[in-house]
Amino acid sequence: MGSLSSDAPIHVVLFPFMSKGHTIPILDLARHLLLRRLAATITVFTTPSNLPFVSRHLAGTSASAVALPFPGDIPGLPSGVESTDALPSMSLFPAFANAAALMQPSLEAELQRLHPRPTFMVSDGFLWWTLESASKFGIPRLVFYGMSNYAMAVSYASTIENHLRGPMAEDEPFTVNAFPWIKLTKNDFERHFSQPMTEENPYLEFIMKVAVAMGKSNGLVVNSFQELEPAFLEYWNRECVPRAWCVGPLLPLERPVACDPQLQTTWAQWLDRKRAGGERVLYAAFGSQAEIPAAQMREIALGLESSGTSFLWVVKKRESEIIADVDGGFEDRVSGRGMVVREWVGQRDILMHESVHGFLSHCGWNSVLESVWAGVPILAWPMMAEQPLNARMVAEEIGVGLRVEAADGTARGFVRGEGLAKAVRELMEGEKGEAARKKAKEVAEMARKAAEEGGSSWTALEALVEEISRKRKDHTG
């Protein structure tokens, strides 16, 4: 990077989408750029209600956060909601995402004021309109999608081969020519992709805007590492645009500071006691977006109870109310063996805890990577978005987990408590679980080597900054 230091200081603009799962890895990217001195200045754009969260995660760095006003009085959207985490229903997502585009004039006013002039911008793919803003100021735009190469490549191949439309049943297996060893179904994809683009399908219209803007951008920043999915990275860079750069896992580079035992959370103390007793703990969490029906929540509780396994289960407020009514006293019956947490937790800290030997997960990509980094096998139960594809990757492609099976055998079917209990026991005690655990440890070592100095992700980030900075310099003369 010496050739860059002799030129103007590198100023990187980051603009994450207003959702914690999208925001956190971009904030980790900011830390990587600053700690490795690949950027001199970083500006992060967000909204007023998200500013405290962003500022906390940037604490101790020189990065600055700028709040852009989020539009109010949007039909159908609750007043004051500035993050998808706070939406009462994900059916409001298209309205929320489209409302974000009204921030464009405010973004451009701030870009005009920034000094030094930005070298390049990394914006979330969902903020498709930032391409136009970046182009106005001659700023190269990189896209951050927060997805795996596997999910992107398989989705693209399935679409161009026209597997997602037509009369085929939702759970009828098909094979894509590009990856003949993979069996997929329509249910592995969001239903929007198999519907016509009409006024009744605003989600697909939004995705098309995102895809067009991505194709015109200068690169794709991928939170993954080359060794995890080489065939899918190679396919994307051969068949698609823009070029993908694997720079992950995007996790903190700093070593964690030992916590004062007096300041530990209740759940951390509970995990410490389990470790002291030599017990294996299953961590269960389904992210902040999934909407789990009450009947399914009840089956999860009963399944965890009957599994006989120690578990730490993180739930949202609405889910907590459902759990309280499960056969009058669920938490009392599992007291000592199971713990229900109703607060924001440090998921990475939980997965890195020595007592945690399994992760019952919705397979959001951040969660998959955090589990991979910790060497913890996954019991995959996808809920939405590209999570079914991630689940296939986890269980079938890289072998670091098992799948939860629905009662009817479909990808999105109802899961009974007894079926969940059986899957939990297999992950935590069975031969398949031990094989996945061994593989998870091997993949964790691969991830660390990729992120270390000289590793594939380390060098890819350097090369990306070098290339995009050179393009910016050539463009401005």
How many whole angstroms separate alpha carbon 356 and alpha carbon 336? 16
Do residues 186 and 381 make contact, with C-beta atoms less than 8 angstroms apart? no
- How much is the pLDDT for 3? 38
List per-residue pLDDT tens for the chain, 477 residues long: 333 444 679 999 999 999 999 999 999 999 999 999 999 999 999 999 999 999 999 999 999 999 999 999 898 899 999 999 888 888 899 999 999 999 999 999 999 999 999 999 999 999 999 999 999 999 999 999 899 999 999 999 999 999 988 778 888 999 999 999 999 999 999 877 666 555 567 788 898 999 999 999 999 999 999 999 999 999 999 999 999 999 999 987 654 444 445 446 889 999 999 999 999 999 999 987 778 898 999 999 999 999 999 999 999 877 777 776 666 688 889 999 999 998 878 899 999 999 999 999 999 999 999 999 999 999 999 998 899 999 999 999 999 999 999 888 877 889 999 999 999 999 999 999 999 999 999 999 999 999 999 999 999 999 999 999 987 766 555
How many whole angstroms separate alpha carbon 334 and alpha carbon 129? 49
**Which CATH code fits 261-447?**
3.40.50.2000
| Phi, psi dihedral angles at 117 (to 5 degrees) | -60, 140
Find the length of the chain. 477
CA dihedral (236, 242, 246, 252) positive or negative: negative
- What pTM does this model have? 0.93
HSE of 228, CA atoms in CB hemisphere, 13 A: 33
- How much is the pLDDT for 332? 87
Relative to beta strand 356-361, strand 338-341 is unpaired
Sheet holding 120-124, edge to edge: 64-67, 41-46, 11-15, 120-124, 141-144, 219-222, 244-246
How many whole angstroms separate alpha carbon 436 and alpha carbon 12? 39
Give me 27's structure tokens.
């904030």
Same fold, 2-252+451-476 and 261-447: yes
**13 strand-pairing partners:** 43, 121
Do residues 123 and 130 make contact, with C-beta atoms less than 8 angstroms apart? yes
For 2-252+451-476, the fitting CATH number among 3.40.50.2000, 3.20.130.10, 3.40.1280.10, 3.40.50.360 is: 3.40.50.2000
How many whole angstroms separate alpha carbon 79 and alpha carbon 107? 21
**Boundaries of every domain in the chain:** 2-252+451-476, 261-447
- Any idea what the Cα angle at residue 449 is, between residues 443 and 452, rounded to 5°? 140
Distance of CA 17 to the CA centre of its chain: 12
How many whole angstroms separate alpha carbon 375 and alpha carbon 392? 18
Do residues 449 and 455 make contact, with C-beta atoms less than 8 angstroms apart? yes
- How much is the pLDDT for 256? 46
Q: Which of 122, 113, 78, 114 is nearest to 96 (CA)?
A: 78
